[in-house]
Structure 1
Amino acid sequence: MNPAVRDTYGPADLGNNPVFAGGFINFGHWQAIDLDRPLDEADRIRSQQDLYRQVLRAAALPDEPEILEVGCGLGMGCALTLSECGRATVTGMDIHPEQLQRARDTHADLLRREPDRLRFVQGAAECMPVEGKGFDAVISVEAAQHFPDLRAFAEETSRVLRPGGRAAFASFFTVDGAPGRPGELAALLDTFANGLDIARPVQQLADALTGAGLAGVHVESIGRHVWPGWDRWLSRWWAPETWPRNFLRAYERGILDYYLVTAEQPR
């Protein structure tokens, strides 16, 4: 496991930071939230839920879908999926054992009530501990920026998707493959400097999905609905020119963007 991932999601317990109110650990989708007024915790939680809703809509789920979430963290998205997607069955997978234990503790009542609809398993995106062709959808929300091998992730996604199944991922990537992008981001953002986030072009993920045999790969920029709201929320704790505020700066400079990437397993 990447040491930065191990520490950030282990002893540091990122989900307990108030900047990630509600425990979803994502930057949020702020389109439905008025950014011209003071933001509160309810707005923040709504933004994170709405990012999951964007991904779930893009997954075009069938009735009673079986869903795998890669990088489930505290399992808040798994619980949201169960509550909003009919008779879905959800497997939340994460590489970090401490995160999985927190997920199991957080959702202990739900696991008792719905033992056949929710489970958590430990595994890496590049080597998923699940059977092949077992899922109608593979989703991932703001985790792919950590995955060391996007090609292996794409191949595993293809392996576990049923014919006609959909992949839907939301995360942030560089806008192109210019050689200087990693250095630019490392100079602006501590998470790229310390290796927690990996600077790669979104096309690398798209090409990996195509190479793994998935069809209809589509990349959509949703940064306009992510970065301004995220920056407004960060302003509660961080002054301009401090490194967390540089996410918006990197977006405005055309270095980094936030994307929704989808693909389908051919029938």
Structure 2
Amino acid sequence: MTDGARETGPAMRPVVRETYGPGDLAGQPIFGGGFINFGYWRAPDPARPPGTADRIRSQEDLYRHVLTTAGPRPGADILEVGCGLGMGCALTLREYGPAAVTGMDIHPRQLDRARAAQAELLRDAPERLRFVRGAAERMPFEDGRFDVVLCVEAAQHFPDLDAFAAQTARVLRPGGRAVVAGFFTVDDAPGHPARLARLLETFATGLDIARPVTALTGAFTAAGLTHTSAASIGRYVWPGWDRWLARWWAPDTWPRNFLRAYEEGVLDYYVVTADRPRQGP
């Protein structure tokens, strides 16, 4: 481990430790391809149920949407916070031409899986890919290390969005950009957390934390980042995800209540962006 990164042993919530440790969420059939996200579903065919290839493509396309939002940055140094098995890191290297990608995850078991899944890339281009253990609220990197910080569907687990935002601002270089994809409540109405806990097991157990998207945009702004915005992409996420789930889960079972929460105006999926200002004139 070089260039300012060091292994750390950050605190991990027990529900996160279990879900991404022995549970190995990426091994569940509803994910597929080693990714762990709901997917970005482009123009699904309503006459044909989605297949495994469609599912994997949806997960890749979510990363493509995030990376395109980050902007064309050939030769960039990129950090992914909550990298899981490193599938997004590998896609970034294959398709977007960065100088290097660092995948960071809080769970050592996930990092072991990432190193196994990406063994060929690590062998062939060790200077372009690495995996580091760290918490979103305490990143083990020096100031101004990265051009881009990505976070795809992990922020719902972070206990402290203010600390995550402050760390993101710290490790970004001047002119760098943060892009976060994830699900949040649409506003701060007090009934939303209880409603989500009734509808969705992951909110009931505390794996997912119910917070408004403004909690993240406000945290980025308070950390000194600028041009902060949140764009809803729920229409490209929840209906396709629900159609995919239909092969295993009946209507009104809890996994399919993500679509219900979206249709009720409680939960949505957002891409949040924020920039670190350039210094000087």
TM-score, with length taken from structure 2: 0.94
- Aligned residue in 2 for 1:24: 35
Q: How does 1:135-150 map to 2 (within 5 A)?
A: 135-150=146-161
In 2, are the aligned partners of 1:66 and 1:88 still within 8 Å (CA)? yes
Q: Using the TM superposition, give the Cα deviation of residue 138 of structure 1 relative to its aligned residue in structure 2, in angstroms.
A: 0.1
Where do 1:177-216 residues align within 5 Å? 177-216=188-227
CA contact (8 A) 2:74 2:98 kept: yes
Asked if structure 2 preserves the Cα contact closer than 8 Å seen for 1:61 and 1:137, the reply is no
Does the CA-based 8 Å contact 2:78-2:98 persist in structure 1?
A: no
Residue aligned with 2:109, SS: helix
Task: Rate the CA distance shift 1:35–1:146 in 2: closer, same or farther, 3 A.
Answer: farther
Q: RMSD between aligned alpha carbons?
A: 0.8
2:50: which partner in 1?
Answer: 39
Equivalent pairs, count: 267
User: Equivalent residue of 2:255, what SS?
Assistant: helix
**Residue 82 of structure 1 aligns with which residue?**
93
Q: 1-side partners of 2:123 and 2:258: how far apart?
A: 40
Question: 1:231: which partner in 2?
Answer: 242
Matches of 2:94 and 2:117 in 1, distance apart? 15
The answer to whether 1:68 aligns with 2:100 is: no
Taking the aligned partners of 1:68 and 1:30, their CA distance within structure 2 comes to 25
Unmatched tracts of structure 1, length 5 or more: none
Code of the residue aligned with 2:80 in structure 1: it is: E
Distance 2:89 2:276 in 1: 22
SS at match of 2:162: helix
Structure 1 residue 23 displacement after superposition: 1.1
Q: TM-score, normalised by structure 1?
A: 0.99
Q: Specify the code of the residue in structure 1 equivalent to 2:176.
A: G
The alpha-carbon distance between structure 1 residues 203 and 36, as it changes in their structure 2 partners (threshold 3 A), is farther
Give 5+ residue unaligned stretches, structure 2.
Answer: 1-11
* 1:160 pairs with one of 171, 187, 191: 171
- Alignment CA distance shift 1:255-1:101 (3 Å): same
Aligned equivalent of 1:169, options 180, 188, 191:
180
Of residues 87, 101, 105 in structure 2, which corresponds to 1:94?
105
What are the superposed Cα offsets for residues 8-62 of structure 1, whole Å, 9 maximum, x if unpaired? 1000000000100101100000024334312111000000000001110111142
| Equivalent AA in structure 2 for residue 194 of structure 1 | T
What one-letter code is carried by the residue in structure 2 that aligns with 1:140?
A: C
2:93–2:100 contact (8 Å) kept in structure 1: yes
Q: Structure 1 CA distance, aligned partners of 2:90 and 2:43?
A: 21
Task: For residue 130 of structure 1, report the CA deviation from its aligned partner.
Answer: 1.1
Letter in 2 for 1:145: Q
Question: For residue 9 of structure 2, what is the aligned residue in structure 1?
Answer: none
Q: Identity of aligned pairs, percent?
A: 69
The question of whether the paired residues in 2 share the 8 Å contact of 1:173 and 1:257 is answered with yes
* Secondary structure of 2:33 counterpart: helix
